[in-house]
């Protein structure tokens, strides 16, 4: 019998992120505490640019955006927000979406699988994803549960191509 396998990836659904940004823009446009402070969220290439006239206001814009991401099912582990920085008369925060697993994170995940998963499970790094194989599908499902339960990993994980 051939080995069963699945891939561990870290990807953000672009459409869900876009929907979350649109919802956050609507809330910012209608909330009273954002009137007259120039608060906005806009795409700048692959990053999001948050703007407001004061540092605490731009942090509040970030909180609104994070709340919308959570409502749309995007974990906060998959976004990387910088510190507020002044730019002219306004403050800005750059927020980027993490796609792919870095080699350091892939090595950490591989070590967790090697140390704690059932012994028949093997993992292999393939670019920005990780292939996990075993003869037993039950062992693979146990490995998925193990990785979902790990809170010390800084990466949002999804499991695809289970066969």
Of 97, 113, 138, the residue at which a domain comes to its end is 97
Domain that holds residue 54: 14-97
Residue 134 contacts residue 84 (beta carbons within 8 Å): no
Is pLDDT above 90 for 21? yes
User: Where is 12: in which H helix or E strand?
Assistant: none
Whole-model pTM: value is: 0.81
Residue 50 and residue 90 in one domain: yes
Overall average pLDDT of the 133-148 stretch: 87
Q: What is the pLDDT of residues 39-49, one digit of tens each?
A: 999 998 889 99
State how far the Cα of 91 lies from the Cα of 81, in Å rounded to an integer.
14
From first CA to last CA, the distance across the chain in angstroms is: 12
Residue 20 contacts residue 144 (beta carbons within 8 Å): no
| Domains identified in the chain, total number | 2
Is pLDDT above 70 for 1? no
pLDDT, position 65: 94
Overall average pLDDT of the 67-91 stretch: 90
Overall average pLDDT of the 73-89 stretch: 89
- Per-residue confidence at 2, pLDDT binned at 50, 70, 90? low
pLDDT, position 101: 86
Residue in the block written with tokens 């990387």: 80
- Give the 3-state secondary structure of residue 76: helix
State how far the Cα of 95 lies from the Cα of 30, in Å rounded to an integer.
22
Is pLDDT above 80 for 13? yes
Which CATH number covers residue 109?
3.30.70.860
């Amino acid at each position: 019998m051939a080995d069963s396998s699945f891939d561990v990836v870290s990807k953000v659904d672009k459409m869900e992120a876009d929907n979350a940004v649109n919802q956050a823009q609507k809330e910012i446009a209608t909330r009273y505490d954002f009137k007259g402070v120039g608060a906005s969220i806009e795409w700048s290439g692959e990053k999001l640019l948050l703007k407001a006239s004061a540092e605490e206001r731009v942090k509040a814009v970030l909180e609104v955006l994070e709340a919308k991401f959570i409502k749309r099912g995007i974990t906060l582990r998959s976004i990387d927000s910088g510190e507020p920085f002044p730019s002219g008369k306004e403050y800005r925060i750059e927020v980027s979406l993490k796609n792919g697993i870095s080699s350091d994170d892939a090595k950490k995940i591989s070590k967790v699988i090697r140390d704690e998963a059932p012994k028949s499970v093997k993992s292999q790094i393939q670019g920005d994803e990780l292939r996990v194989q075993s003869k037993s599908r039950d062992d693979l499902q146990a490995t998925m549960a193990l990785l979902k339960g790990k809170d010390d990993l800084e990466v949002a994980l999804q499991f695809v191509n289970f066969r």
